[in-house]
Structure 1
Amino acid sequence: MGRIFLSAAHGGKETGGIDPGSIAGGTTEAREMILLRDLILTELRARSFEVLSVPDDVSAKQTIEWINSRGRRGDIALEIHADAAGNPSVRGASVFYIASNDERKSNADLLLMGLLRRVPQLPNRGVKPDTASGLGSLAFCRQTKVPSLLMQVGFLSSPDDRSLLQNRRRDFALGIADGLAAWSRSIDSGSGDGGEPTYAAINININGQNYPEQGILINGNAYIPIDLVDRLRIDLSKAPNVRRITYRRVVYVKAIELREFNISVSWDSGTKTVTLRSNLVICPGQIDRIMSHGNSSEVQMQIFLKNNNENALVQFPDIAKLYREEATTEGVNYDIAFCQMCVETGFLRFGDDIKSEQNNFAGLGTIGGGTEAATFENARIGVRAHIQHLKAYASLEPLVKEVVDPRFRFVTRGIAPLVDQLSGRWSADLDYGNKIMAMLKRLYESAGLM
């Protein structure tokens, strides 16, 4: 039986100080996760599992390095988190797995069901690929060498979830231990003879053509020969985090990590084929430039929106068309603007601060420092104001249409031509630009452009 690595999120040193994680209700994410982790450890060890606890004083990067320096075939790793949201009614548990890995998805199901059986009062938010996370990918899922998952046990910002966690901590621990035990038993730890493991061969398809050489499947992840990476003209010399392994004297790389180089990667479990597509219409140097062209169609944007909120188009059936028309008029990348709207409104779900009838799709404020967000007479004017505010940040060019953005004149023109430069400006969130870019990549993957 393999070993189990367990990490409690936060509490370590990040950017020169101790990172408490989310803070709510007089407690911190770090404190709650450490207490929960300790109970899980006790329960698993009572069941005769060998469990290794990641030290609490290490950073997120050091956590992965700590596990990787000790991990071996048959081991698994879990990091537990508590989520947070601005709306205290948002609650529930979820598990993130590395995208396009059916095996890891089934492992995530085992883990989540284990918790929910013990704490049925906890809403089920489902298992999700890490591409659906706020950052678009999760280092713990992608860079940890042994099979790994990241679990959100609930929302610390929710009084209901926080009360459950603090008053039924042992039930949480028992449920997670149940899931970890089931997951560990499902992992094939091999013959244990100390020799080189044997991996299953898989097929490779690139741009619609079958590649003559095969790849291999490791822990449910597709790996392709380094020769193919060279043929795709990808330079990995400055990408130390892309996983490489040597198997039978051939170097292989983890296929899913090539998405960072604008390679589309998908998996067909029926034929055991990994498909790669490199003939992208997106220019890598332009993808994050606000003043540029969009690439998706109105239909692709509509499908993406509906797949993430089935009611999104009921009130705003023409939202994709409006973004495409208004952004094109001002020379703004409509894909970026559309994805910013998805981030700001939660795919048109809105929230307590801004109501849908305000037609404010980007959290735009008013003049005079009032607490209310701006209101626009209809959806088109709301979209136009959003586009104009983006153009104010990204360009020195004058507006084509008459100004409707109430704060257009207060922006230092041209100070943020790239999406990442909106961080700390449009929003106080220093990760704001990354969230928009992660949403953009999700749109392009949904549309088959990436």
Structure 2
Amino acid sequence: MTLIVIDPGHGGSDSGATYKNVQEKNFNLEISHMIRDHLVSTYEVNVVLTRETDKTLELKQRTDFANALKADFFLSIHNNASGGSGFETFIFNGTVPNETVQLQTSIHNKVARDILKKYNILDRGKKRANFHVLRETKMNALLIEVLFVDNEKDLNLLTNPSFIMDVSTVIADAIAEALKIPFKSKPIEGTLYKVIAGSFSDRENAETTLNKLIQKGFGAFISTTVIDKKTFYRIQAGAFTDKANAEALVAKLIKEGFESFILTEYGMASLISSVTLKADKGYEIQGDAVLNAKQMDAYVRTINPGAPELAELYLSHSKIYNIRGDIAYAQALHETNFFRFTGDVKPEQNNFAGIGATGGGANGATFPNASTGVLAHIQHLYAYASKSPIPAFDQKVDPRFDLVTRGSATTWKALNGKWAVPGTTYGQLILALYKKMLESALIEVEKERNTLKTTIENLEI
């Protein structure tokens, strides 16, 4: 598999170009992360960064790292300064293979077509220079100067999340196209391994166990089945096409004290998915929220007392797109394990929906702040639920918006096999969690009602 090393220029004590209160090193790291995330989530490729954080690295450390890995391609991301404007690329000014020149031409031209024209950015051309990272690397190497941090027009773009996502995505696609890297293949669905964390003849017992699972951070829901004319309530904690993944989840459940087993359904995965996708039935993604922000934040704090207060953001952004913000919030709880971020996505990414996190260590997209992360989540749901364009007054911040078949999932259950693969019960898990939120809110409402009723009864006038 192709191995790419991406080098976010500068870092740590070396801030790179500075202007006002911005530092080049931060733009370099953000763009590098997004290029990496798009590549690994979309293509059959391995990508590593010379630095993942704000870390000081000597130039020799960067090239030694890439050479030791025997990478196939080296990309250094920088931003310019000193009074200019625009985009430019560099390769070594000494002897280089024709392939290096061709790669520069292919990548540069695609960015020019898809980004420079769109944002009216000056094309400063394809250049050559005696930069250390181009001279000392033993593979094809390219250095990109995205824009100028000390040019007001360029800086406005660099501080625009929509532009950062656009340019990062196009650079990633340009690299994949130039290196002829294939797209990720879709998994073949066949035998499905369901993880059952309990089976009960009494629904109340099943509900009790389900609550305990949720408290421990496991996503699960209750499904019913009839055996010998008797109804059983099964708690399903996962469904996998890879038996090893199912066995790993069973081991985790048993370690936490939940007796679990694997239920194998042969040849059912594709059947379940196709029925769900064709039917597109169930609770619609678009519509009004029922819960308020106070109720939503209160619920998550019963599981994770340190959870951030994001409910207001979910309700305000979702209202613009007519998305049920309270259920989108439930989806975020499912994706982040109640904002504890125990999977590949980390808290600092502000990615509450697992956008671009396709497994296998892929971290997914990164957003500059919580509001942008929530908006990207809502826009991704909007892409599935509607064929209408993004409102003219809003910016597209979801990096995978255009990868969605518009209007292909109008209900939460219709997200099965789309948002999560195979994900044959993905929508059910979200709705089951939302039901818990509603029940929790109802209990509090009843308490308030009883308090008001008692006060009225005891009121002396």
TM-score grouping bracket, smaller chain normalisation: 0.3 to 0.5
- Give the structure-2-normalised TM-score: 0.40
When normalised by structure 1's length, the TM-score is: 0.41
Larger radius of gyration, structure 1 or 2?
Answer: 2
Question: Which has the larger helix fraction?
Answer: 2
